[in-house]
Amino acid sequence: MTNWTISRILEEYPYSMSYFEQNKLDITGFENQTLEEYLDHFSEVELEDQAIDKEKVLSDLPVYIEQMQAFLGIEKKNQVLSLTIFAGHDKSGVTEGFEELTIHTSQIISIVGPTGSGKSRLLADIEWAAQNDTPTGRSIRINGDVPDNKWRFSSNNRLVAQLSQNMNFVMDLTVQDFLNMHAVSRLVEDPQSVINEIIKAANNLAGEKFDLTTPVTSLSGGQSRALMIADTAILSSSPIVLIDEIENAGIDRKKALELLVTSDKIVLMATHDPLLALMADKRIVIKNGGISKVIHTSDEEKELLKELEKMDTLIQHARQELRKGSNLTSDLLG
């Protein structure tokens, strides 16, 4: 929700207008901005004069919406607005280097650390909503509360969808058959429209296009990953997505992340790529089986990201030219 515009918040939750009115926030003319962008337009003097606490306004809105949903009796099945990780310890029993970390929907969190450092253990703790009952001693809260048992023990309410490095199909199905099977199992009212949406999104990510008649066993690694990312973003009920080393996927990485966060997912991304790590809102550093520290992406890093994106665009262009059989020249550098 942090990346939603105010107009989208009002469209999804019309009663949120009362929240803005109660906080004496005149949002007229700012509907196409996010709430954070709107709050940033106030000067320090205005914030003090109007007693506006930006962090509190941002953090209280999801709570207000949740309470209103409950009051109005609106079904919120499987809705996850936030996930909080409470610190445990590393393999040596040393307390982790943070107290708690709260992640909201539409946020990207990167996970960095050496191979075997404990990234998979972190995922497992989240997936099973650990309650100080795993080797790390971590605890998980969902929407600020101890998670319902459905997240821990029900196969129909999986908290995490995993996208591993190797996405190879063994089923003798076409893309149409595969997506239809998933759509029908999710009781989608209009399966074909959803299927068409998924194939369009997948082809927007993949280096090489494919269609609904393509056998899934003939998809390349990049095409398979693109299909599963689109399927997860559009059709999966899992509110949290873990992507493992998307830099090796052969897809448009930035578009893939944008697709997932606009689908109101919490994205946890294990990566060794500095560009991807800096695209995240925060990054978790793992050492010796524990979370060593949590780093907020700084303004300086965001500026550096712009330069890295320019370099990445150049490399991607060179890769495309090589695929075409072209000779690379200094003109490539502009």
Please give the pLDDT value at position 320: 79
Q: Is the dihedral of CA 162, 168, 169, 174 positive or negative?
A: positive
Please give the pLDDT value at position 230: 92
Mean pLDDT, residues 267-271 taken together: 88
Please give the pLDDT value at position 87: 96
Q: What is the 3-state secondary structure (H, E, C) of the chain?
A: CCCCEHHHHHHHCCCHHHHHHHCCCCCCCCCCCEHHHHHHCCCHHHHHHCCCCHHHHHHHHHHHHHHHHHHHCCCCCCCCCEEEEECCECCCCCECCCCEEEEECCCEEEEECCCCCCHHHHHHHHHCCCECCCCCCCEEEECCECCCHHHHHCCCCCCEEEECCCCCCCCCCEHHHHHHHHHHHCCCCCHHHHHHHHHHHHHHHECCCCCCCCEHHHCCHHHHHHHHHHHHHHCCCCCEEEEECHHHCCECHHHHHHHHHCCCCEEEEECCCHHHHHHCCEEEEEECCEEEEEEECCHHHHHHHHHHHHHHHHHHHHHHHHHHCCCCCHHHHC
Please give the pLDDT value at position 95: 97
Please give the pLDDT value at position 170: 61
pLDDT reading at 224 higher than 60: yes
Mean pLDDT, residues 298-322 taken together: 88
For 146-202, write each residue's pLDDT tens digit: 887 766 765 555 677 877 655 566 677 899 999 998 888 777 778 899 999 999 999
pLDDT reading at 76 higher than 90: no
pLDDT tier, 332 (very low <50, low <70, confident <90, very high otherwise): confident
Please give the pLDDT value at position 112: 92
pLDDT tier, 72 (very low <50, low <70, confident <90, very high otherwise): low
Please give the pLDDT value at position 74: 53
Please give the pLDDT value at position 211: 94
Mean pLDDT, residues 223-240 taken together: 87
Please give the pLDDT value at position 175: 94
Please give the pLDDT value at position 159: 75
For 6-15, write each residue's pLDDT tens digit: 988 888 788 8
Mean pLDDT, residues 31-35 taken together: 90
Position with higher pLDDT, 264 vs 100: 100
For 281-291, write each residue's pLDDT tens digit: 999 999 999 99
CA dist 148 and 129 (Å) reads 9
Averaged pLDDT score across all residues of the chain:
85
Please give the pLDDT value at position 156: 53
Position with higher pLDDT, 148 vs 228: 228
Mean pLDDT, residues 267-276 taken together: 88
Position with higher pLDDT, 230 vs 168: 230
What percentage of the chain has pLDDT greater than the value 70? 89
